[in-house]
Amino acid sequence: MSPIDDFLQYVDDNQSGFIDRLRDAVAIKSVSGDASLRPDVQNMVDWFDGQLRSYGVQTEQVDLGYQTVDGQQLKLPNAILGRIGDDPNKKTVLVYGHMDVQPAEKSDGWNTDPFTLTIDDQDRMFGRGSTDDKGPICAWVNVLEAHSAKQLDLPVNLRFCFEAMEESGSEGLDDLINKEAAKGEDGYFDNVDCVCISDNYWLNARTPIVTYGLRGVAYFEVTIGGPAQDLHSGMWGNVVHEPMTDLFNIMSQLVRGDGYILVEGVYSGIDDPTPEELALYNALDYTMDDFKSAVGGDIGLSEDVSQLLMGRMRWPSLSLHGIRGASSDETSKTVIPATVTGKFSLRLVPPQTPEDIEKKVKTYIEKVFNTLNTKSTLKEVVMTSGGMPWITDDKNWSYKAADDATMDVYGQNPDHCREGGSIPVTLTFSDALKVPVLLLPVGRGDDGAHSTNEKLDISNYMGGTKLLGTYLYKVAASETGEARRAPNKQKLPARALP
């Protein structure tokens, strides 16, 4: 049997062990956004560290220091750097993934306990992190296990960079990546030929994709204050300026109901799609039914599915997320809240940058506030986190290897597309290493990442394990040629996109 067939056979024979791996990973509550769970996040790091080591990866946990949350110093979970293989005749693939997850409580609307992997009669594995991103990184560990158990030589040298703060802005990771890249021969990223990230999803539930673009993000909080303390609305309603009313007025002038962003200047530099680009969106395997089942209703901003896809992938968006400081959902308190903070974020596309958007948003909110004729105070507008958008050439050897691997495993060519979510570290890798970066998803569009009842189909988990492993064999067999050090297309205007 050829090594790759041996590998594929091992995967087929070891489904239940692979599922146990994911079950163990899901059981650890590595919610990076919940300070009280920070010890569990570090436990998750230790657990993955142990997994990598047990299959021969040399690892190092890197201390990323502290972050400040509500004036308190909070220890960041360690990142893991790892290496296996140092053969100068092999290519070297750097794998990135994240071990942290979004918060989840059964009471949010889960049908099962979010931290107990539960398999239903359609072979779907439900649990927080099943698809984002514990399933995909367990799939990488499955690949290692198969090679170790069968004593197969890995076809490439592998490097790992696993972090546990991705869902909370990847604190500390950019510095680590840049430092490590600057170490050259002495660093973990020396001689890396390409980066592979599996942290997104197919567009629909049937067609594999590879992804060559992500939107960036700029997250804002706007705070309005007024009275010294909360007031009784019976005594002071229609007597004082109310911060909440002012905040709603501001929030209502950020974006229109049809999705058009009202902040002045945000669209500057973003060109309309050319006919060639439109054709790309028309060719993607995505139907109105796919869309409706993903969102749970007929609620699209357009009747044209290509327009919906472009709204997600090649235009910016602005979403309102919530209000802090107001009466909670459960109560009907008749109070006038003294100070309220509105939360919203923009998803960015080239050539937008978080810095430029921050200036435009601040200027715009101050202008709107001044039209309100209120005696409330605009206390602050802060961009709490920002990440650059990313887009790359999808014609290089690494994408070709992903196409070939997909054809072998799923019997079809993947669609190539951009994606609407953000993984800010992608651009950091691209800039620091100047090698092709590929997003190769494991899960499906209906997995419900970040949502209640997040799941990963067993077929995607097993297919994904085969896909990631097969990709390594295809990379090993690639002619890298001139495209090996592919230029980063980040700075090109939208019109020039592939």
Q: How far is the CB of 457 from Zn ion (least distance, A)?
A: 17
Q: Are 82 and 60 in contact (CB under 8 A)?
A: yes
The pattern of x and - marking residues 376 through 415 that bind ligand BES according to CB under 6 A reads: -----------x----------------------------
Given 40, 133, 166, 193, the catalytic residue:
166
Helix axes 15-27, 134-149, angle to 10 degrees: 140
Nearer to Zn ion, 341 or 422 (CB): 422
Tell whether residue 133 is a contact of Zn ion (CB under 5 A): yes
Given 100, 145, 171, 457, the catalytic residue:
100
Helix axes 397-410, 458-476, angle to 10 degrees: 130
Residues 6+ apart with CB under 8 A from 89: none
53-61, 112-120, 150-158, 416-424 -> range binding ligand BES (CB under 6 A): 416-424
| Alpha carbons 368 and 357: distance in angstroms, whole number | 16
The pattern of x and - marking residues 384 through 423 that bind Zn ion according to CB under 5 A reads: ----------------------------------------
Tell whether residue 454 is a contact of Zn ion (CB under 5 A): no
100 is catalytic: yes
Q: Are 164 and 62 in contact (CB under 8 A)?
A: no
Q: How far is the CB of 347 from ligand BES (least distance, A)?
A: 8
Q: Are 317 and 259 in contact (CB under 8 A)?
A: yes
Tell whether residue 199 is a contact of ligand BES (CB under 6 A): yes
Which does residue 422 touch among ligand BES, Zn ion, none (CB within 5 to 8 A, set by kind)?
Answer: ligand BES
The pattern of x and - marking residues 154 through 193 that bind Zn ion according to CB under 5 A reads: ----------------------------------------
Paired with 138 in beta bridges are none
Nearer to Zn ion, 126 or 397 (CB): 126
Q: Are 138 and 25 in contact (CB under 8 A)?
A: yes
Q: How far is the CB of 210 from ligand BES (least distance, A)?
A: 13
Nearer to ligand BES, 226 or 387 (CB): 387
The pattern of x and - marking residues 330 through 369 that bind ligand BES according to CB under 6 A reads: ----------------------------------------
Tell whether residue 246 is a contact of ligand BES (CB under 6 A): no
Q: How far is the CB of 217 from Zn ion (least distance, A)?
A: 13
Tell whether residue 32 is a contact of ligand BES (CB under 6 A): no
Tell whether residue 242 is a contact of Zn ion (CB under 5 A): no
Burial 349-365 (b: 16+ CB within 10 A, else e): bbbbbbebbbebbbebb
| Alpha carbons 85 and 468: distance in angstroms, whole number | 17
Tell whether residue 422 is a contact of ligand BES (CB under 6 A): yes
Binding residues for ligand BES restricted to 147-186, rule: CB under 6 A: 166-167, 169
103, amino acid identity: P
Nearer to ligand BES, 200 or 207 (CB): 200
Tell whether residue 199 is a contact of Zn ion (CB under 5 A): yes
120-128, 195-203, 367-375, 461-469 -> range binding Zn ion (CB under 5 A): 195-203
Burial 383-400 (b: 16+ CB within 10 A, else e): bebbbbbbbbbbebbbbb
Cα–Cα distance list, 79 to 33, 40, 91 (Å): 16, 14, 24
DSSP-derived 3-state class of residue 222: strand
The tokens for 122 are: 């359609």
166 is catalytic: yes
Q: Are 392 and 433 in contact (CB under 8 A)?
A: no
| Alpha carbons 65 and 77: distance in angstroms, whole number | 8
Cα Rg of the chain (Å, integer): 24
By the 10 Å C-beta count (0-12 exposed, 13-18 middle, 19+ buried), 89 is classed as exposed
Q: How far is the CB of 131 from Zn ion (least distance, A)?
A: 8
Tell whether residue 421 is a contact of ligand BES (CB under 6 A): yes
Q: Are 345 and 218 in contact (CB under 8 A)?
A: yes
Paired with 44 in beta bridges are none
12-20, 128-136, 212-220, 357-365 -> range binding Zn ion (CB under 5 A): 128-136
Binding interface with Zn ion (CB under 5 A): 132-133, 199
Binding interface with ligand BES (CB under 6 A): 132-133, 166-167, 169, 199-200, 217, 387, 419-424, 449
Catalytic residues: 100, 166
